[in-house]
Structure 1
Amino acid sequence: MICLFLFPPKTPTFPINKPSQPMPAKNTLLPSAKLFAFALCFAINTSQAQSTLPTSKPETEGIPAAAIDSFLTAVGQSKHEFHSFMMLRHGKVVAQGWWNPYEAKLRHTLYSCSKSFTSTAIGFAVSEKRLTVNDKVVSFFPDKLPDTIPAHLAALTVKDLLTMSVGQEQDPTFAVASTQEDWVKGFLALPIANKPGTKFLYNSLATFMLSAIVQKVTGQKEVDYLKPRLFEPLGIKGQDWEVNKQGINTGGWGLRVQTEALAKMGQLYLQKGKWQGKQVLPAAWVEEATTAKIDQAPGAPQSKKDSSDWMQGYCYQFWRCRNNAFRADGAFGQYIVVMPDQDAVIAITSESPDMQGELNLVWKYLLPAMQPKPLPANASADKNLDTHLANLKLAPLSGSDKGTFNQNFTVKPNLLNIKAIGINIKDGICHISLKKDAETYNLDFATGKWLPGETAMQGPGIVNGAKEDFSILQPYKIVGSYAFTEGKELQLKLRYIESPHTETIICKFDGKNLTADVGFSYTYGKDHITLQGELAE
């Protein structure tokens, strides 16, 4: 296996919930501390699994297939890179698709969409009388409290964590999670400037504290606690969740599930906690968790609120939306959108620089298309939609494969401590060998197609700076492609297909010299790192 770790010289900071939106009161979370660019590949099946949810034709459920087709066309013409899409109406799947190389059987990193699952875990614990939302946070961790307990900390409740109204002046997530082993103790040591419950501030570490509370009162990590209560009743399998160094699920981020799991979660909440005739989650909790509890932007002009899905009120780790909807969401466009008025659920995984723009497409194309009664059958439109869904793809790199190419380069001192890079191209495969410290790593890219594989090495992500145990996520699944441009630059693209992210490497050759520029998809061209090498003798 070969991996190239990337340490951007100027580390960008991103919100863990969304990279670009008109929400004024959102602070940032974990910047990436290191990223890798290369990894050894193995073959995976790219066929799409069938949903275990019931399916129906769009017109039968009151939606013109052509409207969904238009939505997909608009997505393809936009700046949003979708990875998957599922739409449910009246409890049935009317459309589902994955943009190759993403596929139904793959999990996808949820980022802050994880928070709504943490809220659900709290709901189960409340229903089992293990805690109440009015319990004081300090009561759960008597051994981790500061010597002096300030009044605001003493007053902090589980409900304040749920509603992102801890009262801290700045989101403490990066400061604590990237520097301290004990996140609970670090959180409790932080000053709280405002009375808890009075001021919204997006705070992913507050959600981690909810996860820590679940583990404290149940004796289980929340992913394990949720298994018999949520995942198994809904037929959700294969989920995993990042943990910190003390074995506590991160809570506010780090859950990976298949797209269908998102759709099922949304349908469960749409059905007020009922699944296949059984009350899985109390209806009272669903109502409590999805109604607005705090205004994220008090005093904002109504015109601004009318155009923003981030100013409709925050619930218990859910967001209110326009059009009387609510949602779970995570950075770069991981969505569960629940639309009670339309009896519909929409699940999306993606990498987008404009999450509001993604929702705007839903409101523009899908919302007005949903009619209260079934529509006449339209076999032609259904066939066009099915064809469109079956052919969704993200194109691999295209260009010349340059035939045979074999060169080795000694790399100048750099932040990555990369000492040598070998490039060998033969029969449409680009083989990279890389010497880093005392190790030599190897991987392959294909020309004109995605070559699937996996690696034990960590890929790019905005939480990489956290003190976590990332080993539970291994092996990481990847696909790679390469091409030579007309300007004789070697381009390599590596997708981490259980995350939103991609790396692009551009190698430029000038006589005996090599310049390798590595870009990260989630910076949208704003940041890269450059390696300089010269032909080895």
Structure 2
Amino acid sequence: MDDHLLDAFVQANAVRGLGAHGIHVYREGRAPVAHRFGADDRVNVYSVAKTFTSVALGLAEAEGRLTLDDRLLDHFPELRATAADGAEGITLRHLLTMTTGSSHRWFAGQRIDAADLLHEIVAAPLKAAPGARFAYTGSGAYAIGRVIARVTGADLRTYLLPRVFVPLGLDDPAWRTCPLGFPLAESDLFLRTHELARFARLLLQDGRWEDRQLLPASYVRRMTTERVDTAAITFGERYTRGYGLGVWLDEGGTYRMDGRYGQYVVVSPGRRAAVTVTAHSERDQELLDAIHELVVDRLT
């Protein structure tokens, strides 16, 4: 059975041109199953990086450095003078769940013209009260990275190195930075398929890796239970089921990390399994459906 688990997906990737680079399936108690469609290079996992940023926030909270309900401007009081009306109410939770109400829209692929992107984020007018609505953007994750740097004295990548990257054997991963030297946080982290699969396994196991508890189990569980409504999204049905603390919620109790061009990690606690795919796909919605229909739904 395991020898043929990926046959249908491999065929679909070839016939339908889904663009997968590699796929890795982890199930508790069984040997991993994987297939490569090309070189095993590190690739940009795009918005999957948001989940790593979320984990950093959870770790900092567990260390007593902050809470998700801290207000952003309490960590950057010097920005109050130029902050938009209503920005005082923006919390780290709002930043993480993309519910700040801000009009600011930014993603890592865009050039940063501002002298300090955080100043631009804080000064952008609000279109809704904090917490009132979900609006997809990379601005919040970047701001969280700046908070991590302020409260720990280490940038996001440096903070995660001894806590997550090194224990998982993710040797010195690249994470692109802004002009001021801070990791972009919302994207542009580079990993191999099997490296990302280790992070997937870490979340599946409630933050435990081998004999160490790397992440607070309570925070990993909160990532899917503390959710915001995304029903108004129009760019795909699988995005309308809610967004948690850095992960998208999906059908059947599954949740996922989700990056541009088909970087997907589908975690299924019920099946005790995680499916990881890296890709360069112009048909990423079709790719995600294939992961569910041809792999996740067939796991026993």
The TM-score, its normalising length taken from structure 2, stands at 0.93
> For structure 1, which runs of at least 5 residues remain unmatched after alignment?
1-58, 372-537
Equivalent in 219, 230, 251 of residue 296 of structure 1:
230
Say if 2:299 is the partner of 1:357.
Answer: no
Equivalent in 260, 274, 278 of residue 345 of structure 1:
274
Equivalent in 248, 252, 259 of residue 323 of structure 1:
252
* Structure 1 residue 145: Cα displacement: 3.4
CA 176–187 in structure 1, closer or farther in 2 if over 3 Å, else same:
farther
Equivalent in 1, 5, 10 of residue 72 of structure 1:
10
CA 148–311 in structure 1, closer or farther in 2 if over 3 Å, else same:
closer
Structure 2 counterparts to residues 442-457 of structure 1, below 5 A: none
Structure 2 counterparts to residues 180-219 of structure 1, below 5 A: 180-219=114-153
Structure 2 counterparts to residues 54-133 of structure 1, below 5 A: 59=1, 64-90=2-28, 92-100=30-38, 102-103=39-40, 106-133=41-68
* Structure 1 residue 171: Cα displacement: 2.0
Amino acid at match of 1:273: G
* Structure 1 residue 92: Cα displacement: 4.5
* Structure 1 residue 308: Cα displacement: 2.1
* Structure 1 residue 98: Cα displacement: 2.1
Amino acid at match of 1:336: V
8 A Cα contact 2:224 2:245, kept in partner: yes
Query: In structure 2, what is the Cα distance between the partners aligned to 1:316 and 1:89?
Result: 24
* Structure 1 residue 86: Cα displacement: 0.8
Larger radius of gyration: 1
> For structure 2, which runs of at least 5 residues remain unmatched after alignment?
none
What is the percent sequence identity of the aligned residues? 28
CA 159–91 in structure 1, closer or farther in 2 if over 3 Å, else same:
farther
The TM-score, its normalising length taken from structure 1, stands at 0.53
* Structure 1 residue 328: Cα displacement: 0.8
Select the structure that is richer in helix. 2
Query: In structure 1, what is the Cα distance between the partners aligned to 2:108 and 2:197?
Result: 30
Other structure's SS at 2:158 match = helix
Aligned pairs, how many? 300
CA 272–366 in structure 1, closer or farther in 2 if over 3 Å, else same:
same
What is the root-mean-square deviation in Å for CA atoms of aligned residues? 2.1
Which has the higher mean CA deviation after the structures are superposed, 90-99 or 275-284? 90-99
1:70-91 deviation per Cα after TM superposition (whole angstroms, max 9, x unaligned):
2211111113111111111116
Which has the higher mean CA deviation after the structures are superposed, 189-198 or 165-174? 165-174
Query: In structure 2, what is the Cα distance between the partners aligned to 1:346 and 1:203?
Result: 25
Amino acid at match of 2:16: S
Equivalent in 167, 171, 177 of residue 243 of structure 1:
177
8 A Cα contact 1:91 1:267, kept in partner: no
Amino acid at match of 2:287: E
Query: In structure 2, what is the Cα distance between the partners aligned to 1:148 and 1:354?
Result: 40
Tell me the equivalent position of 1:409. Answer: none
Select the structure that is richer in strand. 1
CA 187–159 in structure 1, closer or farther in 2 if over 3 Å, else same:
same
* Structure 1 residue 231: Cα displacement: 1.1
8 A Cα contact 2:84 2:125, kept in partner: no
Query: In structure 2, what is the Cα distance between the partners aligned to 1:339 and 1:135?
Result: 31
Query: In structure 1, what is the Cα distance between the partners aligned to 2:174 and 2:185?
Result: 12
8 A Cα contact 1:165 1:201, kept in partner: yes
Say if 2:157 is the partner of 1:223.
Answer: yes
CA 186–175 in structure 1, closer or farther in 2 if over 3 Å, else same:
farther
